[in-house]
Structure 1
Amino acid sequence: MILSMTGYGKATIAYKEKKINVEVKSLNSKTLDLSARIAPLYREKEMEIRRLLAQKLERGKVDFSIWIEKETTVDATPINAALVENYYNQIKTLSKDTGIPEPADWFTTLLRLPDVTTKTEVEVLEDGEWEAALQAVNKAVDKLIEFRTQEGAALQKKFAEKIDNIAVLLKNIEPLEQSRVPKIREKIIEGLKLIPEVEYDKNRLEQELIYYIEKLDISEEKQRLANHLKYFRETMDESGHGVGKKLGFIAQEMGREINTTGSKSNQAEMQNIVVKMKDELEQIKEQVLNAL
């Protein structure tokens, strides 16, 4: 079964007064290209997150984000009351000693002073919160994989159509190939008749004709292409790793056989069919880059 590298997943888990949000997006890439934006509280777990993503997603250009939303009351910065009182007493003493008037708006003045509204506590990651965060990560990744599965099914349907089209075109070549040999023989003999003064050995001519026709024979190319089409279908149904890469390699081999068939075709009808096969194969090659 084919999986696409395109996917999206998002999950939110509530923990105490927080909401833990995880978002994962992926596009096609030859390897795993992971970009992670991690909330400061969870940065100590970055390597664990990366290992999990690499294990589950395997390949693709992946953008991962995890962030926290807090309730407003929890997120408010506390006022350092002791420091405010200390500033207040210092200003009153300074005003008395210097004769400088006390401020008219005490709150505005005091709240602008250093460290009055600065958080001093250090937030520590609890085991329970990390379990909730890990649950959100797994949930988002599972949704992305589900998305990849749906996209992969669409890809597989598209590939099957293109493979069937190439198989039909390959069969259409057979009647043209059967009529090609007599036409080649007739064309060469007619050409020799136009030069009456030239004498030739009919046995030698037959040998040369056989040699020439064998060089134009595409039986092996047709057989190999048919085998590649069959192998492509079988590979699409495989489960496991690297199916997309394998399909890409098979498509390259199909291209070689189609190109060789085209170079040996000396009939306009056969060359037209080859062009159509190339068009179908090109569409496969474009889409196979998105297969995992």
Structure 2
Amino acid sequence: MTLVSMTGFTRAGGSFGRYNWTWEIKTVNGKGLDLRLRLPAGFDELDRPVRAVTSERLARGSCYISLSVQHEAPNQTLRINQQILDSVLEALTSIEARIDAKKPSLDGILSIKGVMEPVEESESEEVHAALIEAMMANFKEALADLERMRQSEGVALEKVVMQRVEELEALTKQAEDCPARSAEAIRSKLRQQIERILEAESSLDEDRLYQEAALLAGKADVREELDRLYAHCAAVRGLVAENRPVGRKLDFLAQEFNREANTLCSKSNDTSLTAIGLDLKATIEQLREQIQNVE
């Protein structure tokens, strides 16, 4: 199982009867699954199933889904508006009784506005249900295409993440082998610091001197930080191998990496070890930037 990216985009279209539509799905990184759906008027019933399917397939990321629909004008038939026709005939009868005029022709009566009106063919519930079903099937295809894109980007993302982990392991090994960590280097550093303490307080007793030396020696020891850095690298490798979204855990590990690098820098008793600590922090930041895109 490779890592899955939270970034992706896809577009898919379909048709049914007199309808044509286009789905667009775009995802970017996010702390959780933030789904934003835009549907045209008359298709609100797609809201619930679209959200349900998306929630099943995607674990994290800001997801933007939109549907655009075009349709041909429905077939129209002409219908006589009986109420208006009765009013027209009643008016004609009244006029005939008052004036001597030629009787109106049939086409003349039918041409009066409102007597004949167009009527659109209504869409049956069965046809509408079939349209919604076709749209949902097409949406699932688009979602599957988005998943493939996110997985493809995840492959490249995993390579970068593992490269950063290897760099962190190499830097940790450099810190472990740093000459400033040798017993002689620490002893020499302690001797210099103790001499400064004695110069400042000539009356310092042996017990106090021993305590100061112990504190200095403890501060110079970064073995625990190095062990944790190695452990965090192993943890990243283990998470990458898991068959489930691991972005949140990787993000937590990035914070732990940074904590150990900060402590190593603060304990450093030599500029060379500090330089390695700073390189560690820079590489951890690069790792964190990549991890933020992992589902």
TM-score by length of 1: 0.79
Q: Deviations over 1:71-121 (max 9, x none)?
A: x4xx2573645249957x849958x9599xxxxxx99994xx799567573
Q: Distance in 2 between matches of 1:117 and 1:49?
A: 36
Which residues of structure 2 form unaligned runs of 5+?
A: 100-108
Alignment of 1:1-292 (within 5 A): 1-70=2-71, 72=72, 75-76=73-74, 78=76, 80-83=78-81, 86=84, 90=88, 110=113, 116=117, 119=120, 121=122, 124=125, 126=127, 127-174=129-176, 175-179=178-182, 180-188=185-193, 191=196, 198=202, 205=209, 208-240=212-244, 242-292=245-295
Residue 35 of structure 1 contacts residue 64 of structure 1 at CA under 8 Å; is this kept in 2? yes
Partner of 2:104: none
The answer to whether the 8 A contact 2:81-2:115 is kept is: no
Contact 2:3 2:158 survives alignment (8 Å): yes
8 A Cα contact 1:9 1:142, kept in partner: no
* 8 Å Cα contact 2:5-2:294 kept in structure 1: yes
Distance in 2, matches of 1:114 and 1:276, equals 86
Partners of 2:84 and 2:115 within 8 A in 1: no
Separation in structure 1 between the aligned mates of residue 115 and residue 44 of structure 2, nearest angstrom = 29
Cα distance, 1:258 vs structure 2: 1.0
Query: Could you say if the C-alpha distance between residues 120 and 206 of structure 1 is closer, same or farther in structure 2, counting changes exceeding 3 Å?
Result: same
Q: Which amino acid aligns with 1:146?
A: R
3-state SS of the aligned residue for 2:10? strand
Identical amino acids, percent of aligned pairs: 27
TM-score w.r.t. the length of structure 2 is: 0.79
> For residues 188 and 37 of structure 1, do their structure 2 counterparts lie closer, same or farther at Cα, with a shift above 3 Å needed?
closer
* Distance change in 2, residues 1:62/1:117 (3 Å): farther
- The answer to whether the 8 A contact 2:164-2:287 is kept is yes
Structure 1: gaps of 5 or more residues: 100-105
* 3-state DSSP of counterpart to 1:58: coil
Inter-partner Cα distance in structure 2 for 1:114 and 1:49: 45
Distance 2:89 2:26 in 1: 55
C-alpha contact (below 8 Å) 2:23/2:66 kept by paired residues = yes
Residue type of the alignment partner of 2:37? A
Assess if the C-alpha contact under 8 Å between 2:79 and 2:118 holds in 1: no
Q: Match of 1:239, SS?
A: coil
Match of 1:102?
none
- Read off the aligned partner of 2:193 and give its amino acid letter: I
CA contact (8 A) 1:41 1:125 kept: no
